[in-house]
Structure formats: C-alpha cells, structure tokens
C-alpha cells in the first residue's frame, strides 16, 4: 500500500515502482500512518505550514462573510482554465468567459462545476468519484463505453486501491500533503487513456475541500501549478523516481502552488470588494 517509502539503496533510490516499469513511488506496507514520514523530508513540514497559513489568510478575508459563493464560483472558473492549460488547452480567461469550443477546456469546466457536489462523497467512495470525474473530463474525447473506466492492469488497480484507502481516512497527514500525493499518484500513473491530468488536479482540490483546509474551495491551486509550469513536469518526474529527494521536491512544489493559489483567491476577493 502507499505508506513509508522503502529504504534507499546504494543509489539513494527506493526501488522500482512496480511491474512493467510503471513509474512512481513504491511504498512499504505498514500499520502506522503511511504518510507521516513525508513530513520529515527536508523542507516539507515548513512548506506545508506555509501553505496552511496562506489559505488561512484567504479564509479570513472580510468579503467572504457575504460573498463566499461568488468567490468560489470564480475560483472554479479560473481553476478549470488553468487545469486545461496545463494539458495544452491554454486560452485567456476572458475567452473562457465568452465560451471556447475546446473539448479539454469544456471537460475541465464540467469537472469544476461538479466539485462542490462531489466533495461529500470523495472520502466515502473515492473510486466512484474518480470515475465520475473522468466521465466529466473526457466526454467527447473518448467513446462513451470508455468513460469512467481506469485501465484494468494489476499495477493500476493496486495503486488506485491503495490511494483510495488513504483518501478514505488512512492518514492524518496535513491536507496539502495528502492532496499532493493524490495529485502525483494519479498524474504519474495516468489510469485513464485521456483526461488523467484534469482528474488528478480535481481530485487534489477535492482533498483540500474534504479535509477542511479550504472547505469552500476559494483558493486556486491550479493557477499556482500553472505559474510554476516550468517546474511542474520536472517535479512530477522527481516524484516518480521514488527517491526521498524527488518526493520532497514534489511536495514542496505543491505547497508553493497552494500558496500561489491562495494569493489568487485573495485577488478574487479584492476584485469582488471593489465591485
């Protein structure tokens, strides 16, 4: 299952991720909290604390006392645009508002629109929610029979099951750390033929909602990842090596993206305040 990274060998690595050369982290099976050791990787605890503080500053903004739904809706729109851009469908925000006939973008918008309804189900039935996210993300890109169906090879099935156990309460790690692991596992594993990136980022956002870090989904972490786009792919590749330094790099990247996403949420609040 996902858990404590296995001990490093002579090269400092954690061993192959699994059969068939699938990239990613190979984890040891343990009874204790499987993600707790990640907080001891250099810089991770401080980065997680910084991300939490940034989101707390956003949640304290005075405009949210009366207009949180408006801010959340704008966050969803900007998040969908940024998520689609990370998958190559990059359109200016004003064009997105006007309407763009791009299937990747339209899928990301459908996903963002449904996150609020899915948040209550995410921890209880993560596999069901992932299937629904994929139906929304990949409609029009795949035959209907392929929607919501991850690849059925043993490695994919095992890693999705392990991830589901974590999401369903298998860890007390900070929300930003669990969200980063959810994001990376889905993005590296690529369990769906099309749309895994949009699904991964949506599942990460669902995690910070359901774990109470950002319960009204006001921050825009996808914008943070887009601002750090030059690092995004490299940080994912580092995670996929399974080495402690690579995992730590990805976790710190996600914390930085969360801070930037909170800053974007504050910008939305200020714009709402100005009317």
Contact 111, 89 (CB under 8 A): no
Contact 108, 77 (CB under 8 A): no
Residues 6+ apart with CB under 8 A from 128: 121
CATH topology of domain 38-274: Fic-like fold (1.10.3290)
Domain boundaries defined on the chain:
38-274
| Residue 11 tokens, joined | 């090269």
Q: Distance (Å, rounded) from C-alpha 97 to C-alpha 180? A: 29
Over residues 252-270, the pLDDT tens digits come to 999 999 999 999 999 999 9
Query: Predicted confidence band at 52 (pLDDT cuts at 50, 70, 90)?
Result: very high
Over residues 143-176, the pLDDT tens digits come to 999 999 999 899 999 999 999 999 999 999 999 9
Residue 25 confidence (pLDDT): 58
Q: Distance (Å, rounded) from C-alpha 66 to C-alpha 53? A: 22
Residue 58 confidence (pLDDT): 98
Closest CA to 259 of 5, 51, 10: 51
Cα angle at 124 between 115 and 77, to 5 degrees?
A: 5
Residue 181 confidence (pLDDT): 98
- Bridge partner residues of 142 (DSSP): 139
Within a 10 A sphere around the Cβ of 144, how many other Cβ atoms?
10
- Render the burial of 27-60: b for 16+ CB within 10 Å, e for the rest: beeeeebbbebbbebeebbebbebbbebbeebbe
Q: Distance (Å, rounded) from C-alpha 50 to C-alpha 47? A: 5
End-to-end CA distance of the chain: 49
- Write out the DSSP string of 17-33: -SGGG--S--B---SS-
Mean pLDDT value of segment 46-71:
97
Over residues 70-97, the pLDDT tens digits come to 999 999 999 999 999 999 999 999 999 9
The reported pTM is 0.90
Question: If DSSP codes are grouped into helix, strand and coil, which group holds residue 136?
Answer: helix
Q: Distance (Å, rounded) from C-alpha 189 to C-alpha 17? A: 10
Over residues 169-205, the pLDDT tens digits come to 999 999 999 999 999 999 999 999 999 999 999 999 9
Mean pLDDT value of segment 20-37:
63
Closest CA to 124 of 175, 173, 168: 168
């Amino acid at each position: 299952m996902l858990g404590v990274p296995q001990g490093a060998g002579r090269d400092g690595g954690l061993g192959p991720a699994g059969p068939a050369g699938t990239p990613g982290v190979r984890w040891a099976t343990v009874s204790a909290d499987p993600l707790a050791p990640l907080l001891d990787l250099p810089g991770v605890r401080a980065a997680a604390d910084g991300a939490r503080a940034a989101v707390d500053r956003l949640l304290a903004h005075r405009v949210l006392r009366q207009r949180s739904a408006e801010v959340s809706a704008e966050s969803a729109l900007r998040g969908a645009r940024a998520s689609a851009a990370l998958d190559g469908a990059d359109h200016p925000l004003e064009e997105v508002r006007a309407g763009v006939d791009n299937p990747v973008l339209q899928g990301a918008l459908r996903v963002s629109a449904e996150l609020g309804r899915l948040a209550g189900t995410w921890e209880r039935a993560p596999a069901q929610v992932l299937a629904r996210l994929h139906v929304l993300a990949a409609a029009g890109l795949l035959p209907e029979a392929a929607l919501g169906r991850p690849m059925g090879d043993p490695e994919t099935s095992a890693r999705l099951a392990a991830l589901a156990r974590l999401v369903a309460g298998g860890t007390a790690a900070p929300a930003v750390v669990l969200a980063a692991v959810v994001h990376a596992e889905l993005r590296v594993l690529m369990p769906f033929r099309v749309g895994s990136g949009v699904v991964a980022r949506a599942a990460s956002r669902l995690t910070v909602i359901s774990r109470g870090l950002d319960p009204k989904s006001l921050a825009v972490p996808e914008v943070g990842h887009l601002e750090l786009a030059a690092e995004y792919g490299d940080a994912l590749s580092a995670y996929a090596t399974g080495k402690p330094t690579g995992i730590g790099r990805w976790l710190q990247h996600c914390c930085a993206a969360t801070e930037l996403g909170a800053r974007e949420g504050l910008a939305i609040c200020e714009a709402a305040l100005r009317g």
